[in-house]
């Protein structure tokens, strides 16, 4: 789930307005886009890469590492299944408002395959200095700079803010993983935390969570055994109960998924939780100072 230089990327929906715009941005950032999918334009070329009729056609030799989905909600299920059938290992699903029954089917199929889904409703993944997949400002050197902090976020906008603060603090990022804001997602906070814990470039983790669900509590169970420091910020502290705040997954019901329970779980696991997002970079800078983590 971490983009590496040279990973081959397929863009499903490359000929659409958003698909073509972000493909150009990904290419400018160094992302290795090798093709796109549009059944009606198979055999053509766009932005210097071939268009295929399906992901299965594009991956005939098994050479696609990542697919990114720029497909409307009602067609997204078919596109993701196509990528799963093509045995593409990482599928970045940007689309939001996919029908719930379609999402359930997608995740069931992915679990029975070798594919990992990031999203739905994700902003994507970034490795500064190497490339990005999705709709993050991966080529903006003010926001993303190569560094040592791995960033996990449900929110693309809040994740961008934290990355900007990390760059201004001179820390940069080893990787950004946007897990997505839907209630049912393929890659959880815990999954992303495990990936960054195993990543040799990552010395510390910035975890940006939100109220709703239990992903932060689940991640806390894993963080308890980590040697790399983790600093977190949880959005939605002042949200009233039973209100959906922003993302579809950010809803608290009967106290479940509330701010207090998430913060308590993380702090009990040794994770420092900041009151505001702009404190997060400063806290990590202190932990990674010469007197802190080597």
Say yes or no: 91 and 218 in one domain. Answer: no
The domain of 41 spans: 8-118
Cβ atoms of residues 11 and 70 within 8 Å: yes
Q: Taking residues 92-119, report their average pLDDT.
A: 97
Say yes or no: 157 and 280 in one domain. Answer: yes
pLDDT band at 292 (very low <50, low <70, confident <90, very high): very low
Say yes or no: 45 and 175 in one domain. Answer: no
CATH number, residue 219? 3.40.50.261
Asked whether residue 51 is domain-assigned, the answer is yes
Tokens read off for 190 = 């815990």
Q: Taking residues 178-207, report their average pLDDT.
A: 97
Asked whether residue 38 is domain-assigned, the answer is yes
Asked whether residue 125 is domain-assigned, the answer is no
Cβ atoms of residues 42 and 109 within 8 Å: no
Say yes or no: 193 and 282 in one domain. Answer: yes
Say yes or no: 163 and 275 in one domain. Answer: yes
Say yes or no: 220 and 266 in one domain. Answer: yes
Cβ atoms of residues 13 and 79 within 8 Å: yes
Say yes or no: 64 and 180 in one domain. Answer: no
Predicted local confidence at residue 236, as pLDDT: 84
Number of domains in the chain: 2
Cα 210 to its chain centre, rounded Å, is 14
d(CA 22, CA 38): 16
Length, in residues, of the chain: 294
- Has residue 243 got a pLDDT over 70? no
- Has residue 190 got a pLDDT over 60? yes
Query: Which of 88, 118, 148 is the C-terminal boundary of a domain?
Result: 118
Query: Which of 53, 85, 118 is the C-terminal boundary of a domain?
Result: 118
Predicted local confidence at residue 62, as pLDDT: 82
Say yes or no: 54 and 184 in one domain. Answer: no
Which residues are the active-site residues? Answer: 247
Helices (H), 29-119: 55-58, 73-85, 100-111
Asked whether residue 134 is domain-assigned, the answer is no
Q: Taking residues 246-265, report their average pLDDT.
A: 70
Cβ atoms of residues 154 and 213 within 8 Å: no
Say yes or no: 282 and 144 in one domain. Answer: yes
SS3 state of residue 196: helix
Do strands 173-178 and 124-127 pair parallel, antiparallel, or not at all (unpaired)?
antiparallel
CATH number, residue 25? 3.40.50.720
Say yes or no: 144 and 283 in one domain. Answer: yes
Say yes or no: 110 and 207 in one domain. Answer: no
pLDDT band at 266 (very low <50, low <70, confident <90, very high): very high
Cβ atoms of residues 67 and 36 within 8 Å: no
pLDDT band at 255 (very low <50, low <70, confident <90, very high): low
Query: Which of 66, 85, 118 is the C-terminal boundary of a domain?
Result: 118
């Amino acid at each position: 789930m971490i983009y590496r230089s040279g990973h081959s990327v397929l863009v499903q929906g490359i000929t659409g307005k958003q698909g073509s715009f972000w493909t150009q941005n990904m290419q400018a950032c160094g992302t290795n886009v090798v093709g796109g999918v549009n059944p009606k334009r198979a055999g053509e070329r766009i932005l210097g890469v071939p268009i295929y009729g399906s992901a299965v056609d594009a991956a005939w030799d098994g050479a696609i590492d990542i697919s990114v989905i720029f497909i409307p909600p009602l067609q997204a299920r078919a596109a993701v299944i196509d990528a799963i059938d093509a045995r593409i290992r990482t599928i970045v699903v940007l689309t939001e408002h996919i029908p719930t029954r379609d999402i359930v089917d997608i995740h069931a199929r992915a679990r029975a395959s070798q594919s990992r889904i990031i999203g739905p409703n994700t902003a994507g993944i970034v490795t500064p200095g190497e490339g990005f997949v999705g709709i993050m400002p991966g080529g903006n050197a003010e926001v993303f700079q190569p560094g040592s902090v791995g960033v996990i976020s449900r929110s693309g906008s809040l994740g961008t803010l934290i990355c900007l603060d990390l760059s201004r603090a001179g820390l940069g990022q080893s990787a950004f993983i946007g897990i997505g804001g839907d209630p049912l997602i393929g890659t959880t906070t815990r999954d992303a935390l495990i990936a960054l814990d195993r990543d040799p470039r990552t010395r510390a983790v910035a975890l940006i969570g939100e109220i709703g669900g239990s992903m932060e509590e689940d991640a806390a169970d894993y963080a308890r055994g980590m040697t790399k420091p983790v600093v977190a910020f949880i959005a939605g502290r002042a949200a009233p109960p039973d209100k959906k705040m922003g993302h579809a997954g950010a809803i608290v019901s009967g106290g479940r998924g509330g701010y207090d329970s998430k913060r308590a779980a993380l702090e009990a696991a040794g994770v420092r939780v900041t009151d505001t997002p702009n404190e997060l970079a400063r806290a990590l800078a202190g932990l990674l100072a010469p007197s802190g983590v080597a």
